[in-house]
């Protein structure tokens, strides 16, 4: 069997996510040979561009999808929340593995609790959803901030911010234990649809599609499908200021 080529972005969490998928695939298919191929995306090329009208849909995933369609790779691993809600023709999500923690966290320079943030504290985030929700909870100022997780943590100290808001999943996957971490309850601070979930994308009907079934987690698939259905129904994109978190129960999804 030819090596299975997994495409990944060249920055941020990109090495960890495909690496996790590769290990799970090797557990399920011990004889499988897996290679990683780095694909540079728009989001990697312009690390200082902030989300806004000029930000292209699929900026973190478009180049990977094109590489799949051109058969330069066999599998693409995405943070599911970065995928546009409209499916790409010729491609399918063959697996949605077990989800990491979906909630957000606030890392701070001094405060140990959300209530300890001083009035007018400067909080770094480039997400309209996170900005709106933290302002609802505390009287703070927002400082736009982009970059991978270590870069944003460095900016917390270097740029005099009082805190930065990040996804718990990213910190957990990178093994970062920051000393002043405030976990934000999803009930008060609703995460982005599909946050914490990975999407393993392949060409529709390909041999790789069959292999991916071994790492699919049905409860995670049901939850994130419901969350992204909300985005699709209201006509919002993957970076819209919308929060959703579904709970899977025996009698359905809520």
Radius of gyration of the chain (CA): 18
Rounded-to-integer distance, Cα 51 and Cα 69, Å: 27
**From 44, 74, 82, 162, the catalytic residue:** 82
Rounded-to-integer distance, Cα 251 and Cα 254, Å: 9
Residue-by-residue DSSP string for 71-132: TS-SEEEEEGGGS-SSPPTTEEEEE-PPP----EEEEESS-SSGGGSPTTEEEE---HHHHH
Burial class (CB in 10 A: 0-12, 13-18, 19+), 241: middle
The helix/strand count (H/E) of the chain reads as 8, 12
Task: Examine the residue annotation and report whether 44 is marked as an active-site residue of this protein.
Answer: no
Instruction: Dig out the tokens for 95 from the structure.
Output: 């697996």
Instruction: Dig out the tokens for 93 from the structure.
Output: 């999500």
Rounded-to-integer distance, Cα 127 and Cα 254, Å: 25
Instruction: Dig out the tokens for 49 from the structure.
Output: 């561009």
Q: Are 57 and 23 in contact, with CB atoms under 8 Å apart?
A: no
Runs of H (alpha helix) within the chain: 16-28, 42-45, 62-69, 128-137, 149-158, 168-174, 207-212, 218-233
Which residues are designated catalytic?
A: 82
């Amino acid at each position: 069997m030819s090596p299975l080529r997994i495409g990944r972005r060249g920055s941020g969490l990109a090495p960890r996510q495909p690496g996790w998928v590769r290990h799970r695939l090797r557990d399920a298919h011990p004889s499988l040979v897996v290679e990683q191929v780095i694909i540079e995306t728009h989001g990697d090329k312009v690390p200082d561009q902030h989300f806004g009208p000029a930000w292209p849909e699929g900026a973190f995933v478009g180049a990977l999808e094109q590489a799949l369609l051109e058969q330069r790779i066999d599998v693409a691993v995405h943070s599911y929340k970065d995928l546009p809600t409209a499916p790409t023709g010729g491609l399918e999500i063959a697996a949605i593995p077990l989800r990491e923690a979906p909630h957000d966290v606030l890392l701070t320079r001094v405060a140990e609790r959300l209530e300890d943030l001083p009035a007018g504290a400067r909080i770094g985030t480039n997400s309209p959803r996170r900005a709106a929700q933290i302002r609802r909870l505390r009287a703070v100022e927002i400082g736009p901030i982009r970059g991978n997780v270590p870069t944003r943590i460095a900016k917390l100290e270097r740029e005099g911010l009082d805190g930065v808001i990040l996804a718990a999943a990213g910190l957990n996957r990178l093994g970062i234990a920051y000393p002043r971490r405030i976990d934000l309850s999803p009930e008060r601070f609703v995460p982005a649809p599909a946050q914490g979930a990975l999407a393993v994308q392949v060409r529709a009907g390909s041999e790789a599609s069959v292999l991916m079934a071994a790492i699919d987690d049905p409860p995670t698939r049901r939850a994130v499908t419901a969350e992204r259905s909300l985005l699709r129904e209201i006509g919002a994109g993957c970076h819209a200021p919308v929060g959703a978190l579904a709970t899977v129960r025996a009698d359905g999804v809520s």
